[in-house]
Amino acid sequence: MIFCEISREKGRIKEESVEKWAKDIFKFLKIKDAGISIAIVDNEIIKKINKKYRNKNKPTDVLSFSERDSMNFPKFAKNFLGEIIISWEKTVEEAKEDKETTEETFKKLLTHGILHLLGYDHEKNKLEEKKMLELQGKILKKI
């Protein structure tokens, strides 16, 4: 069973769509029993979180907090992976820059966040970055 708990800022995207995309990503990755929490926030909120947990005083597009790394988030299920926080303002900004729809950009950020929860880390080294971005690309072609 896969579940998503979604909190969103001002209803900017359909909860059903986000849950479907998360389930499609999990299906592609052959994950059958897992859960995530997804928060869609504004730049002000994600900036505060980025400052507190990453010591970066600026908004970012997506943050992932793995349950394996922290006990700060409640366990909704035995296989709760963690929390993904996505800035809606950054999603819109990046969509314009990349000439994509906001849905396409959101899917990219969601996929990126899920891969981080699974242990992928593009900041570790070039090889890890290549592996993560290649897998992200494959997933995005399928969902």
* 5-23 tens-digit pLDDT: 566 555 577 888 888 999 9
Q: Which residue has the higher pLDDT, 115 or 74?
A: 115
| CB half-sphere exposure, 141, CA atoms < 13 A | 6
Mean pLDDT for the stretch of residues 103-117: 95
pTM of this prediction?
0.86
CB-based contacts of 62, cutoff 8 Å, min separation 6: 84, 85, 86, 87, 90, 109, 110, 112, 113
Instruction: Tell me which amino acid residue 136 is.
Output: Q
pLDDT at residue 29, rounded to an integer: 94
Q: What is the pLDDT of residues 77-108, one digit of tens each?
A: 567 888 999 999 999 999 999 999 999 999 99
Q: What is the structure's pLDDT at 74?
A: 52
- Give the number of domains in the chain: 1
At residue 77, the pLDDT reads: 52
Residue-number span of the structural domain to which 13 is assigned: 2-142
pLDDT of residue 69: 57
Model confidence at 72, in pLDDT bands (50, 70, 90)? Answer: low
| CATH number for position 121 | 3.40.390.30
Q: What is the pLDDT of residue 1?
A: 46
Contact (Cβ atoms closer than 8 angstroms) between residue 86 and residue 106:
yes
Question: Which pLDDT tens digit goes with each residue over 14-66?
Answer: 888 888 999 999 999 998 888 888 888 889 999 999 999 999 999 999 999 98
Torsion angle in degrees (nearest 10) through CA of 57, 93, 107, 5: 50
Over range 72-80, report the average pLDDT.
59
What is the rounded CA–CA span in Å between residue 36 and residue 32? 13
